[in-house]
Amino acid sequence: MRIVILDGHTANPGDNPWPQFEAPIELVCYPRTSHEVLLERAAAADILITNKTVLGKDMLEKLPRLKFIAVMATGYNVVDIAAARKLGVPVSNVPAYGTDTVAQYTMALILELCHHIGEHAASVAQGDWASSPDWTYWKSPQIELRGLTLGIVGFGRIGQRVGELAHAFGMNILYSSRKPYPELAFLAQHVPLDTLFREADIVTLHCSLTEDNRGFINKALLETMKPSAFLVNTARGQLIKEQDLEDALRDGVLAGAALDVLSNEPPSSDNPLLRAPGCLVTPHMAWASLAARRRIMQTTQENVMAFLSGTPINVVNT
């Protein structure tokens, strides 16, 4: 039994060793796999483990040896799950590893938008405080969260955890999701999407990417936001029409944005959001705490062992 990890570097850049599988299982780990060598590496596998390496229909049909795919993430859009189902290949994901880590990072982005801590630390480092005539200064408005309204789009595990943290800051919580959640540990109101964008001081995205919501953050929706509002995205970059957001930021339609994801990753150098005013972009790292990556590793191993025992778990294409 040969297990091939196609892109293991992000989960284990050196601080998170891969679990050991007992013989007769052979584990082969590649840090990255380009499209040019994907077929060669995947064809030798009974089990493939992937994070962001795409396994489309055309590729899957060329892998008659393949028996199981483990995705090292909650989102599994990198695999054509319909094609895998047709070929009789179960696909498992890691459903809950990043709830606390991503929620914490979301709050960090919100707080950075409110305080510009990095900008002020850089200002002090370059000598601005030492040469200041006053004992204090600030280069941007300092914003208190208490009493502001947070709009959460997508209210699964991460969205609810963000709501819980924001509630602790004294924020009012609105959320938009397919269904209401009446039993919560904090007060939150289920509202239509247009109401959420119109009333929220900060909108944060925590929904899955589907063909129905691809690019739904567009010019028309952005123009309903308050000019003082912020947009935060730690979900998927393809949810946003990036040129529309760049235009909105340049025109003052909203005050700022903080994005941990973009439509293409790594982005092209001409992505309009890399230079948009008031736009903070980080390199898709909200998920990447060591604690979260250890959970990914543990659950992935459990997914593989459950499949080998004949009782697969966390299967997304039943």
Average pLDDT over residues 212-233: 97
Q: Is 119 a catalytic residue?
A: no
| N-terminal to C-terminal alpha carbon distance within the chain | 23
pLDDT class of 94 with cuts at 50, 70, 90: very high
Average of per-residue pLDDT values in the chain: 96
Residue 312 above 90 pLDDT?
A: yes
Average pLDDT over residues 79-92: 97
Q: Is 236 a catalytic residue?
A: yes
Each residue's pLDDT tens digit, 23-76 = 788 999 999 999 999 999 999 999 999 999 999 999 999 999 999 999 999 889
Average pLDDT over residues 160-166: 98
**Main-chain dihedrals φ then ψ at residue 27, nearest 5 degrees:** -110, 125
Nearest to 242 by CA among 259, 228, 255, 229: 259
Each residue's pLDDT tens digit, 174-210 = 999 999 998 999 999 999 999 999 999 999 999 988 8
CB atoms inside a 10 Å sphere around CB 17: 9
pLDDT class of 20 with cuts at 50, 70, 90: confident
Q: Where are the domains of the chain?
A: 2-97+290-308, 99-281
Residues contacting residue 283 through CB under 8 Å, at least 6 positions apart: 260, 265, 266
Q: What is the pLDDT of residue 102?
A: 97
Average pLDDT over residues 81-86: 96
Q: What is the pLDDT of residue 135?
A: 97
Catalytic residue selected from 116, 236, 293, 295 = 236
Q: Is 284 a catalytic residue?
A: yes
Q: What is the pLDDT of residue 34?
A: 96
Contact 115, 138 (CB under 8 A): no
Q: What is the pLDDT of residue 267?
A: 97
Contact 99, 156 (CB under 8 A): no
Contact 113, 232 (CB under 8 A): yes
Element (H, E) at 310: none
Q: What is the pLDDT of residue 75?
A: 86
pLDDT class of 296 with cuts at 50, 70, 90: very high
β-sheet with 256-259: strand ranges across: 189-190, 172-176, 149-153, 202-205, 230-233, 256-259, 279-281
Strand partners, 220: none
Spatial separation of the C-alpha atoms in residues 150 and 148, rounded to whole Å: 7
pLDDT class of 21 with cuts at 50, 70, 90: confident
Q: What is the pLDDT of residue 84?
A: 98
CATH of domain 2-97+290-308: 3.40.50.720
Catalytic residue selected from 26, 144, 223, 265 = 265
Q: Which SS3 state, helix, strand or coil, does residue 298 take?
A: helix
Catalytic residue selected from 206, 284, 293, 295 = 284
Each residue's pLDDT tens digit, 271-283 = 999 999 999 999 9
Helix axes 99-115, 157-168, angle to 10 degrees: 50
The CATH label, of 3.30.1330.50, 3.40.50.720, 3.40.50.300, 1.20.1250.20, for the domain at 99-281 is: 3.40.50.720
Strand partners, 129: none
What is the percent of the chain with per-residue pLDDT over 90, rounded to a whole number? 94
pTM > 0.75: yes
